[in-house]
Structure 1
Amino acid sequence: MKLTINGEKKELTSETMTVTELLALQGVEMPDMVSVQINGDFLERDAFDSKVVRDGDEVDFLYFMGGGCSE
């Protein structure tokens, strides 16, 4: 299966994979802190276990970062 993940083309050996499995395969730490976008659409977190990524999908993992300035 060929995917584009965060703008990088990847070829995976598995033909079917859920978003949860993809997050694990890609070594995403703290997947509960990541938003996932597939082909431009945001995926609800409760669908990670059931949504299957397909050959040719564009997947983006969006990480939330805290920060600010201290004065």
Structure 2
Amino acid sequence: MKVNGKTIPLDAEMTVHSLLMQLGLNPKRVAVERNGQIVPRARFADQALGEDDVLELVEFVGGG
């Protein structure tokens, strides 16, 4: 699958949530687009990923 333009291997039965954990990202601070569609945060844990998926991840960063 592709994540932010980079090809990464897909672990068996990976979800959006498990991918974010693997990448060290806080699910509360990330917006996810899967194949051109926004994935609601409430669906991160049950949204299965496939080899042909294209994901865009945007991490929100606070600052002053």
The two structures have a TM-score, normalised by structure 1, of 0.78
Task: Name whichever structure is richer in strand by fraction.
Answer: 1
* Structure 1 runs, 4 residues or longer, greater than 3 Å off: 65-68
Q: For 1:1-71, what aligned pairs fall within 5 Å after superposition?
A: 3-12=1-10, 14-28=11-25, 30-66=26-62
Report % sequence identity. 33
Unmatched segments (≥5 aa) in structure 2? none
Please identify the structure whose Cα radius of gyration is greater.
Answer: 1
The two structures have a TM-score, normalised by structure 2, of 0.86
Unmatched segments (≥5 aa) in structure 1? none
Q: Please provide the CA RMSD for this pair.
A: 1.4
